[in-house]
Amino acid sequence: MEKKKRTILKNNLDAARKSRKEIATQNAEIVREAIVSKLGSNLLTPNSKPDLQQITEDYYFTLVPTLSGYSLTYQVKTIDSDGMTLDMFSRKVNEVMKLTYNANGQLTSETSPLSRSGYVTKYIGVKCERQLGDCEEEFISGSKKSADKRSVKISYNNGIWERSFLINGRHKQEYRIYNQYGLEVYVAKYSNNELDSEFIRKGFRPDIK
């Protein structure tokens, strides 16, 4: 009887996850357009530069998942003329994760929230995020001693930045919307055109019927 209950519960949870994913996939484009509209002039575009000097050290924000997963809270740790560091907190990782940006608001190192061990990636230069066109990024991940390289294509359309690349034969696409500080308000990641994850900054999720 207990085994049957567990099976029913698992099936119900799987169905609920599938339903959330289908709804999120269906609404993703509408959600992105609504967030772009809400940001208005506070949107980062190819013609603007992240305005780090307007950020205060008490600045923080939270990205909330629309699918399964944990919220990610970001807190400014340090900021000066050389750039900025953010602390990132999640219930999944039992340590403070960090992101480091240079003076131009470009990411130079990050900790992945997908790993319980706090998987760190350091970029040789900067991460390919907002360099339009073809971009090659070089990085060292985790405990590796040598660097890997990745060819990335970056495009921009109506407030939305798209980053696409291949990993092990799978086509990866990432859609991001940034505010005037160059910080994420929206992130969605796809694998072979299937939505894997979507995060929306708290206070920016549109009410879609």
Average pLDDT on 24-37 reads 90
Handedness of CA 133, 100, 138, 119 (dihedral sign): negative
CA angle 34, 164, 93 (to 5 degrees): 80
For residue 206, being part of any structural domain is answered with no
Count of domains in the chain? 1
For residue 165, being part of any structural domain is answered with yes
Residue 209 has pLDDT above 60, yes or no: no
Q: What is the pLDDT of residue 4?
A: 43
For residue 51, being part of any structural domain is answered with yes
Q: DSSP for the chain, please give it.
A: -HHHHHHHHHHHHHHHHHHHHHHHHHHHHHHHHHHHHHHGGGB--TT----GGG--TT-EEEEEESSSS--EEEEEEEEETTEEEEEEE-TTSSS-EEEEEETTS-EEEEEETTSTT-EEEEESS--SSS--EEEEEEEEETT-SS-EEEEEEEEEETTEEEEEEEETTEEEEEEEEEBTTS-EEEEEEEETTEEEEEEEETT------
For residue 209, being part of any structural domain is answered with no
pTM, rounded to two decimals = 0.85
Residue 109 to residue 106: CA distance in whole angstroms: 9
Band (5; pLDDT cuts 50, 70, 90): very low
Average pLDDT on 155-174 reads 95
The residue among 49 and 12 whose pLDDT is bigger is 49
Taking alpha carbons only, the member of 129, 130, 103 closest to residue 47 is 130
For residue 66, being part of any structural domain is answered with yes
Give the count of beta carbons closer than 10 Å to the beta carbon of residue 143: 8
Average pLDDT on 127-143 reads 92
Q: Which two tokens stand for residue 67?
A: 């699918």
Which residues, in sequence order, are bridge partners of residue 152?
135
Residues shown for the chain: 209
For residue 18, being part of any structural domain is answered with yes
Q: What is the pLDDT of residue 90?
A: 84
Could you tell me the residue range of the domain that residue 36 belongs to?
2-201
Decide if 110 contacts 129 (C-beta within 8 A): no
For residue 207, being part of any structural domain is answered with no
Residue matched to tokens 């998987």: 119
For residue 23, being part of any structural domain is answered with yes
